[in-house]
Amino acid sequence: MESFQTIAVFNYQHETVVLKHLLEQEGIPYFFENEMTLSVVPLYSAALGGIKLKVHPNDFEQVQEILDNLNNPLKIV
């Protein structure tokens, strides 16, 4: 996990719930830095730099695609 790098940062734990499910569904290894600390003391988010999603660099492209799809939920047909 030392080679994992930050690809996204979130301010609140609830922002990570759906993303966790999607990453697990795709079988992508990941971890959220500061997740446990901020679940106990959410006001430390700014001091700790938020909840950082860390993934292996080989998975960056696939994870970025998942993040882009999450950020653009509206699809006009």
Statement: residue 2 has pLDDT above 90: no
pTM for the model stands at 0.82
Asked if 6 and 55 touch (Cβ cutoff 8 Å), the reply is no
For the stretch 66-77, pLDDT in tens is 998 887 765 555
Report the share of the chain in percent with pLDDT over 90. 52
The backbone torsions φ and ψ at residue 8, rounded to the nearest 5 degrees and listed phi first, read -155, 155
Distance in angstroms (rounded) separating the CA atoms of residues 43 and 34: 12
Cβ contacts of residue 34 below 8 Å, gap of 6+?
48, 49, 50, 51, 52
For the stretch 26-47, pLDDT in tens is 999 999 999 888 888 878 788 8
